[in-house]
Amino acid sequence: MKPNKLVTFFIVAAALLVLPLLLQQGGNAWVRIVDTALLYVLLALGLNIVVGYAGLLDLGYVAFFALGAYLFALLGSPHLAEAFPVIAAAFPEGLHLPIWAAIPAAAALAGFFGVVLGAPTLKLRGDYLAIVTLGFGEIIRVFLNNLDRPINLTNGPKGINQIDSMKFFGFDLGKPHEFLGIEVNSVSMYYYLFLVLVIVSVIICHRLENSRIGRAWMAIREDEIAAKAMGINTRNMKLLAFGMGATFGGVSGSMFAAFQGFVSPESFSLMESIMIVAMVVLGGIGHLPGVILGALLLAALPEVLRHVAGPLQAMTDGRLDSAILRQLLIALAMIVVMLMRPRGLWPSPEHAKPLVKPVKS
């Protein structure tokens, strides 16, 4: 690295490390916003593998997030013991698996479903694929909502609560800790965990992008038939993209479950999937800095706006409350950004070629 690049690197790193400590002075709400934003970055990075690299439009991505979150919740809460006498006999307090078993299990389940979804849809492309993945997301959500009888697996619309927090070798992220005399509370601890995960994911994605696999994905994205003719096994590559993207979703899901301590079907609606797609496309599809920017903007801005919406609500006689204002601004952002920069806010400079041929006109 050049010296001035190194300096920038250290400044950014220091700023990222200090950020939650500064924010937590103003209350946990602000740190929580940043935490959520980082979770969305993780999700957007995962979806970017499927949509950005391999060009497979997936509108049901949140299903994998949900699967990861629910599996983690089941393994780390008393719910299974309450619902099943067999389990209660062996584990009266619930399973409470250590995260070293729960997170890989969540990742594996999500990855498995990613491949299961990918397999029958290999022949489909574009909009057909979009609608099938969208349907898959809805199917998962309906099951989560209704699997509380005849056997109570998901506790239905009420969701599962009392989920364990993240514990590393007895170090509990759910409790405040003190380092060098500085009090670091639980939400800030999660910030550091999520930050590490985001950095690891960025490194993985970056390496993938320049690997044979990544190049094969991009070849499929640009022209599937040509890619096949050049000897790329398009079937395996597409399944790999689905599986890897879904694994990211599963890991993010287990983080979400542990962070919130509560999961319910409401968090996994179609709107969430659409928001994640919007983050990827709005930022700059297939371009890591763009994807991160898109995720941060769409996840954090509305939350920040929520805090300034009070006066507006008073001005407009209660019609324009914070939730409405938030939705209005997201909608306008999606339209205006796309009209002004159809390739995203921060598009990739070298792959400036369109993802697909422009629509004939």
Partner 1 sequence: MEVLLQQIINGLVLGSMYALIALGYTMVYGIINLINFAHGEVLMVGALTSWTIIGLMQEAMPGTPGWLILLISLLIAFVVCGALNFAIEKVAYRPLRNSPKLAPLITAIGMSLLLQTLAMMIWKPNYKPYPTLLPTEPFQVGGAVITVTQLFILGATAVSLSVLMWLVHYTRLGRAMRATAENPRVAALMGVRPDTVISATFIIGAILAALAGVMYASNYGTVQHTMGFLPGLKAFTAAVFGGIGNLGGAVLGGILLGLIESIGAGYIGPLTGGVLGSQYSDIFAFIVLIFVLTLRPSGLLGERVADRA
Q: Which residues bind partner 1 (CB under 8 A)?
A: 55, 57, 120-121, 123-128, 130-132, 134-136, 138-139, 142-143, 145-146, 150, 221, 224, 270, 274, 277-278, 281-282, 285, 319-320, 324, 327-328, 330-335, 338-339, 342-343, 354-356, 358-361
- E strand segments, 164-315: 167-168, 171-172, 177-179, 182-184, 262-263
Least CB distance to partner 1 at residue 277 (A): 8
What is the rounded CA–CA span in Å between residue 255 and residue 253?
A: 5
SS3 77: coil
Least CB distance to partner 1 at residue 139 (A): 5
What is the rounded CA–CA span in Å between residue 170 and residue 188?
A: 18
Q: Are 127 and 57 in contact (CB under 8 A)?
A: yes
**CA torsion sign, 173 to 164 to 73 to 95?**
positive
129 or 163: CB nearest partner 1:
129
Least CB distance to partner 1 at residue 225 (A): 9
99 or 276: CB nearest partner 1:
276
Least CB distance to partner 1 at residue 126 (A): 4
User: Rg of the Cα trace of the chain?
Assistant: 21
What is the rounded CA–CA span in Å between residue 236 and residue 177?
A: 46
97 or 270: CB nearest partner 1:
270
78 or 284: CB nearest partner 1:
284
Least CB distance to partner 1 at residue 359 (A): 5
- Find the helix or strand (DSSP H, E) in which 67 lies: helix 62-75
Q: What is the largest CA-CA distance in the chain?
A: 67
Helix segments in 93-185, DSSP class H: 99-118, 126-146
142 or 199: CB nearest partner 1:
142
52 or 68: CB nearest partner 1:
52
Backbone phi, psi, residue 263, to 5° = -130, 145
Least CB distance to partner 1 at residue 114 (A): 15
- Find the helix or strand (DSSP H, E) in which 177 lies: strand 177-179
6 or 336: CB nearest partner 1:
336
Neighbouring residues of 310: CB distance < 8 A, sequence distance ≥ 6: 322
Q: Which amino acid is at 181?
A: G
Q: Nearest-CA neighbor of 159 among 145, 140, 179? A: 145
Structure tokens of 104?
């890989």
Least CB distance to partner 1 at residue 233 (A): 19
55 or 249: CB nearest partner 1:
55
Least CB distance to partner 1 at residue 332 (A): 7
